[in-house]
């Protein structure tokens, strides 16, 4: 490294696929990276936060096709939506990389060429399984009934002339590296998953696909594009200016790649480090994976159960509580970091957020701030008094909280960081009750000098703790912390504050506090209707009172039934039935019945479902696999023979025999039927 360029603390988020809008999952990772960056800046370190978008994936072009928009226009729009969202969430990133940018393409092609020159890339035929949804190749043993076992996503068989990366050469070096660097992969239990994966032995990886007009072309072979994962991970290095800008070493290696667990084992903890090892480049210093937000136990997100859009959720918090919009954004940042269990997965609900908003922000933090400022105004006309000795119990507690904060942050347990901070907040609210400053003020007024001293000591302790808490929460809630500083009468801008200001005694006697103003007003209504959840970004329309009966559950019209006008349904009623084209990926008999088949049906780009269908007497499983059908997608799931059926196929009833309805020609899976 050049001596004139000190190493910058470099943090990365995953780069997000632009096949859908941001949600509270992508927001969580981005926010915790921002918190980390702000903490390192507080510590006085030169810090660089990178985020961006992953735009060369097949699923991105599929999404563009579905939207009927040219791919470049489509990705421009969504990259803009991510940038805008991160800006609105107070993310202070230093750069935003898009994998369609020339600086990225250049680095990827250079990386590829260097690997080829070193003999780590060779040409061969690839035949096997590929999941577009995961953008991942799978082995035969990793696939069952047309589904990747790990992700539950459909796979297709591909056979192509391609280039391969000699990943198999890195099993032992990676195991050795993990052994020698125990804190490289975190948390520990996920590191163990990586070790188990490596012990199965890495296989060479197919790293190109046929060029269909989207993606980064292989240097010297325009018929191929580089596999999107191989391209995507290089973004972290491309942004440093590698290979041509000599300053790249002031950023690289990244200090931490922070990602979700699904892209940890295969990509960030094996493929990427192996690629770097192959070129003798330094490895990222740490790689950390957090778990998922789940909804009803399922992964939430673009391809799973719905998760709210972050800025819409912040706006909702503002409307429900009356908090200023910018403070509501900070509240959301706090809530996401505090609610997520940085270990196993965490169930996400808007109602949990509202409850925690009230408990932690409106009550705990709000009470401490309001009571402190009110009492200061009442007993001291707002002017901070002199104290001879601070309360040693509280000073010691503040010190130990700061130490716990740093310890938890060093292992990326952001919930514990906040929990530690709130120990201080909680103690202070109790402390006020125990010390009863109102009693001390009365006695002091009656000439009791000891009470006067105790009052000054108590209130300055409250002020100091509030100041320290504002500093500790500033990486999470920068706007709220600045507002607390302002109420405390601190005139120096928050940006100039450093970690050393956590030392006791920062608020000087003579400082004048301002008028109290609640930052996070209490939310009165804690329940959230389905219609509101839907508006917040839920992909699922709310359940209405009168769920329409699926066509085949409606009693058949008998010849005697007159066609009466009151039997008509409105177009709105009809539109409540969600009909889609699906493709049968697998079919098998259900034990102990002659009528039912268990079907695995792909019903959207990233969506598969199990449907039990009473067609076993009319179709054999072999006749069904690969067939496109029409299904009712929003039918209430129903359990039969212990299996949940998630929808129903449409079939004509011909003399009591079922004849499946099929589109006239092959259509994209998931197409709407109207
Ligand atoms: N493009 C790849 C990453 C390439 S990095 C070189 C990708 N993109 S993604 O859009 O699918 O984003 C995945 C990331 O979003 C996860 O790793 C995680 O950080 C975040 N999350 C997406 N869904 C999430 C939850 N349900 N819960 C928590 N985080 C989630 O994979």
Averaged pLDDT, 173-200: 97
Q: Is 232 in the pocket of ligand 1 (CB under 6 A)?
A: yes
Cα 81 from chain centre: 16
The band of 274, judged by pLDDT with boundaries at 50, 70 and 90, is very high
User: What is the percentage of the chain residues whose pLDDT exceeds 90?
Assistant: 72
Residues 627-672: pLDDT tens digits? Answer: 889 999 999 888 888 888 899 999 988 777 888 998 876 677 888 8
Q: Report how far apart, in Å, the C-alpha atoms of 595 and of each of 614, 619, 645, 658, 659 are.
A: 5, 10, 14, 11, 14
Q: 275 pLDDT exceeds 50?
A: yes
**How far is the C-alpha of 112 from the C-alpha of 110, rounded, in Å?**
5
pLDDT score of 545 more than 80: no
Check if the beta carbon of residue 285 is closer than 8 Å to that of residue 253: yes
**Token pair in block for residue 417:** 């960081």
Q: How confident is the model at residue 547 (pLDDT cuts 50, 70, 90)?
A: very low
**pLDDT band per the 50, 70, 90 thresholds, residue 567:** low
- Tens-place pLDDT, residues 512-543: 999 999 999 999 999 999 889 888 986 455 55
Rounded-to-integer distance, Cα 569 and Cα 642, Å: 34
Output the six-digit token pair for 547. 């769920």
Q: Assess whether pLDDT exceeds 60 at residue 565.
A: no
- Nearest alpha carbon to residue 166 among 283, 278, 281, 282: 278
Closest CA to 31 of 21, 44, 43, 22: 22
Question: Above 80 in pLDDT, residue 560?
Answer: no
Is any ligand 1 atom within 6 A of the Cβ of residue 27?
no
Tokens of 437: 């400053």
Cβ–Cβ < 8 Å for 64, 75 = yes
* 29 C-alpha to ligand 1 centroid (Å): 8
Q: Cα(222) to centroid of ligand 1, in Å?
A: 30
User: What DSSP character marks residue 364?
Assistant: I
Q: Judge whether residue 159 has pLDDT over 90.
A: no
| Residue whose CA is at the smallest distance from ligand 1 atom 13 | 16
> Average of pLDDT values for 398-411?
98
pLDDT of residue 249: 95
Take atom 5 of ligand 1 and give the residue whose Cα is closest.
14
Quick one: pLDDT at residue 538? 61
Neighbouring C-beta atoms of residue 232, cutoff 10 Å? 26
- Going by their DSSP bridges, the two strands 185-186 and 286-290 should be labelled as parallel
Q: Stretch 291-318: mean pLDDT, rounded? A: 90
Residue 291 CA: nearest ligand 1 atom is: 28
Our CA angle for 75, 81, 82, nearest 5°, is 90
The tokens for 28 are: 């969580």
CA-proximal residue: ligand 1, atom 8 (nearest): 16
Token pair 């099929």 in the structure block, residue: 662
In the chain, count H helices and then E strands.
21, 28
**How far is ligand 1, taken at its centre, from the CA of residue 14, in Å?**
7
- Judge if the beta carbon of residue 263 lies within 6 A of ligand 1: yes
More confident residue, 105 or 6: 105
Instruction: For residue 232, give the ligand 1 atom closest to its CA.
Output: 6
Task: Give the residues across from 257 on adjacent strands.
Answer: 12, 287
In whole numbers, what is the pLDDT of the chain averaged over residues?
Answer: 91
Tell which wins on pLDDT, 667 or 420: 420
- Average of per-residue pLDDT across 193-207: 95
Ligand 1 centre to CA of 259 (Å) is 7
pTM check: above 0.75: yes
- Asked if the model's pLDDT at residue 56 lies above 70, the reply is yes
Cα–Cα distance, 366 to 522 (Å, whole number): 9
Q: By CB neighbour count within 10 A (0-12 exposed, 13-18 middle, 19+ buried), where does 220 fall? A: exposed
Per-residue pLDDT averaged across 245-268, rounded? 97
Dihedral pair phi/psi, residue 548, rounded to 5° = -65, 145
| 583, pLDDT greater than 90 | no
Ligand 1 atom 20 nearest Cα: 26
Calpha distance 377→502 (Å, rounded):
24
């Amino acid at each position: 490294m050049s001596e004139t360029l000190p190493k910058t603390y470099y943090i990365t988020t995953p780069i997000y696929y632009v096949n859908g809008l941001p949600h509270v999952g992508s927001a969580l990772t981005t926010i915790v990276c921002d918190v980390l960056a702000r903490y390192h800046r507080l510590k006085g370190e030169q810090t660089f936060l990178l985020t961006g978008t992953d735009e060369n994936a097949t699923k991105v072009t599929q999404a563009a096709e579905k939207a009927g928009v040219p791919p470049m226009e489509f990705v421009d729009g969504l990259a803009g939506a991510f940038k805008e969202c991160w800006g609105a969430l107070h993310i202070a990133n230093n750069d935003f990389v898009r994998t369609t940018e020339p600086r990225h393409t250049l680095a990827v092609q250079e990386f590829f060429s260097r690997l080829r020159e070193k003999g780590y890339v060779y040409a061969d035929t690839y035949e096997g399984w590929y999941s577009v949804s995961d953008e991942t190749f799978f082995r035969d043993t990793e696939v069952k009934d047309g589904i990747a076992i790990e992700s539950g996503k459909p796979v297709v068989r591909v056979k192509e002339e391609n280039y391969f990366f000699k990943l198999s050469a890195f099993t032992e070096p990676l195991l050795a590296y993990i052994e020698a660097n125990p804190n490289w992969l975190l948390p520990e239990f996920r590191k163990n998953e990586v070790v188990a994966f490596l012990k199965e032995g890495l296989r060479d990886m197919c790293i190109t696909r046929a060029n269909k007009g989207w993606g980064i072309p292989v240097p010297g072979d325009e018929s191929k594009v580089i596999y999107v994962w191989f391209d995507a991970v290089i973004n972290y290095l491309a942004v440093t200016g590698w290979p041509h800008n000599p300053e790249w070493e002031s950023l690289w290696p990244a200090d931490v790649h922070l990602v979700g667990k699904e892209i940890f084992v295969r990509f960030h903890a094996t493929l990427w480090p192996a690629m770097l090892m192959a070129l003798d480049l330094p490895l990222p210093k740490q790689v950390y994976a957090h778990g998922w937000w789940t909804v009803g136990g399922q992964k939430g997100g673009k391809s799973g159960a719905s998760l709210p859009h972050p800025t819409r959720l912040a706006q909702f918090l503002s409307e429900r509580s009356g908090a200023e919009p910018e403070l509501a954004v900070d509240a959301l940042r706090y809530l996401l970091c505090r609610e997520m269990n940085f270990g196993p997965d965490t169930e996400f609900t808007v109602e949990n957020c509202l409850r925690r908003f009230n408990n932690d922000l409106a009550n705990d933090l709000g009470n401490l701030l309001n009571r402190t400022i009110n009492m200061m105004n009442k007993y001291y006309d707002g002017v901070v008094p002199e104290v001879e000795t601070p309360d040693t119990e509280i000073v010691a507690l503040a010190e130990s909280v700061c130490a716990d904060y740093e310890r938890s942050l060093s292992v990326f347990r952001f919930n514990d960081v906040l929990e530690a901070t709130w120990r201080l907040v909680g103690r202070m609210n109790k402390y006020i009750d125990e010390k009863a400053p109102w009693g001390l003020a009365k006695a002091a007024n009656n000439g009791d000098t000891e009470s006067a001293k105790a009052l000054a000591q108590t209130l300055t302790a409250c002020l100091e703790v509030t100041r320290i808490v504002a500093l500790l929460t500033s990486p999470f809630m920068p706007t709220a912390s600045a507002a607390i500083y302002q109420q405390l009468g601190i005139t120096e801008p928050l940006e100039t504050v450093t970690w050393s200001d956590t030392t006791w005694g920062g608020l000087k006697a003579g400082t004048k506090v301002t008028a109290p103003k609640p930052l996070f007003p209490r939310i009165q209504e804690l329940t959230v209707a389905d219609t509101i959840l839907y508006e917040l970004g839920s992909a699922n329309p709310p359940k209405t009172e009168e769920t329409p009966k699926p066509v085949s559950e409606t009693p058949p019209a008998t010849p005697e039934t007159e066609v009466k006008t009151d039997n008509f349904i409105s177009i709105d009623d009809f539109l409540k039935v969600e009909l889609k084209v699906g493709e049968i990926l697998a079919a098998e008999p259900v034990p102990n019945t002659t009528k039912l088949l268990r079907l695995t049906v792909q019903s959207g780009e990233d969506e598969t479902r199990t449907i039990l269908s009473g067609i076993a007497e009319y179709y054999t499983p072999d006749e069904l696999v690969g067939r496109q059908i029409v299904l009712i997608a929003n039918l209430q799931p129903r359990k039969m023979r212990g299996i949940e059926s998630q929808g129903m196929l449409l079939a004509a009833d011909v003399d009591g025999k079922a004849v499946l309805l099929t589109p006239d020609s092959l259509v994209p899976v998931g197409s709407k039927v109207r």
